[in-house]
Amino acid sequence: MPKLIRIFLFLGLIIIGLVSLNVKAASPGITVITIKGAITPVLVDYITRGIDQAERDNAVAAIIQMDTSGGLDSAMRDIVQKIVNARVPVVVYVSPSGARAASAGVFITLSAHVAAMAPNTAIGAAHPVAIGEGGEQAMSQEMQEKVVNDAVAYIKSLATSHGRNADWAEKAVKESVSITEREALDMKVIEMIAPNLPALISQLDGRQVTMLDGKVVTLHTRGVAINRVDMSTVENFLFSITDPNIAYILLSIGMLGIIAEIFSPGLIFPGVIGGICLLLAVYALGMLSVNITGVLLIVLAFGLFVAEIFTPGFGLLAGGGLVSLIIGSLILFKGGAPSMRVDPGLIALVSILIVGFFAFVIQRVVKAHRQQASTGREGLVGRTAVVKEALDPEGMVFLEGERWTAIAEHGHFEPGEEVTVTKVEGLKLYVTAKNSKEVSK
């Protein structure tokens, strides 16, 4: 009997443990997603994954911690669409202190069910920047007005849907105005200021938000677990290479590696590294809105540098390549937000390194062309041979371990004397006295 009681007690403890684990797993938490950097398609996938996980976990809310200076309009709209249609409340929190929500970040903030900022942060400057060939300068006045009006209508709709200041949102687009977190709270651009994530979660407790379907949800955040959704290794890598500066470096290294392999076949390493970097650069540029003219100018620059190596252009081709490289680099992402352009300092550094590389290659090629041949028949010219059979004028000489038929161009030479090869014709050597300066090149 006691044994039976122990068995029942053991089974009861197992059941209680399983139930408690199930309750713990089922208890809703808060999903935290982190954005730091430019808004790109890689971030779209990451945020989509994070919100989807929050929905699967039946989370109380999803919090997006954001620090961005802007990014691609298409990626921003995809993120906004995901937030607006989310089945859980989404909170956008501009943090930590010193962070900002600029350009595309303004639209994302205003699309959230709750907008919050940390102390010493800023929001604003949402004027649309045309990305593509020629940038905004290439657009007609009418087209610029259409782009701005479309952005104004979009941001006002987002602000109005959550009861925020639509007039300020319009100014953020038209006049590129920016405000601090305190001004944003006073002007009803955001709902709260929180120094850190725990403080934000505490302030969210009991707050009511209206979802897209009109359903009012009350947030119960006190004591809930925080579930962070971090970028995967692949997402982190792809996000890194879609930075315009990294993409530019990969493009430069890729082209240099391929050219180095062409000039020195069999090295393998430059070709492999160059090929990998070039493919990664193509992927990165495909994720970004690039100016095709800029890409073509950079390719032309490398073509001119190569032509300078093979064709003596007295530096004209190399000079043209340098100009083409700099202009192409400057307009590669022309018209994009500051975070979506190549840093001018990086352009200067890469240009100097590339010019230095090709200057080194050109110097080596010129030196090689000027050097006397050291192999083959041409390499015999100028060498010293020993007479084996008298040259009068024809006889035999010993050179490089072989016997050669030789013809004396001047004078008579006896066996044992040393002569200098002046030229080679077929299998015959033409020789002269060793100290003679008449050597044909």
Q: Which residues are catalytic?
A: 103, 146
DSSP 8-state class, residue 224: P
The DSSP output letter for 311 is S
Cis peptide before 198 (omega within 30 of 0): no
59 vs 47: CA distance, rounded Å: 15
The DSSP code for 372 is P
The Cα–Cα gap between 127 and 122 comes to: 15
Report the distance separating Cα 92 and Cα 418, nearest Å: 91
CB 73 within 8 A of CB 128: yes
Task: State the Cα angle at 220 between 78 and 118, rounded to 5°.
Answer: 60
Exposure string (b/e) for 369-390, b if CB count within 10 Å is 16 or more? eeeeeeeeeeebbeeebebbbe
- At residue 389, the 3 state secondary structure works out as strand
Q: What's the helix, strand, coil split of the chain in %, to 5?
A: 50, 20, 30
Of 61, 122, 103, 67, which Cα lies nearest the Cα of 86? Answer: 61
- Residue with the two structure tokens 């095709």: 292
Distance CA 130, CA 147 (A): 8
What SS3 class is residue 113? coil
Helix 73-84 and helix 41-56, axial crossing angle in degrees, nearest 10: 10
Longest dimension (CA), the chain: 130
User: Quick one: tokens of 82?
Assistant: 């995901």
User: Strand, helix or coil at 388?
Assistant: strand
* Residue type, position 66, single letter: M
Measure the CA–CA gap between 233 and 42, rounded to whole angstroms.
12
| Spatial contact of 95 and 123, defined as CB atoms under 8 Å apart | no
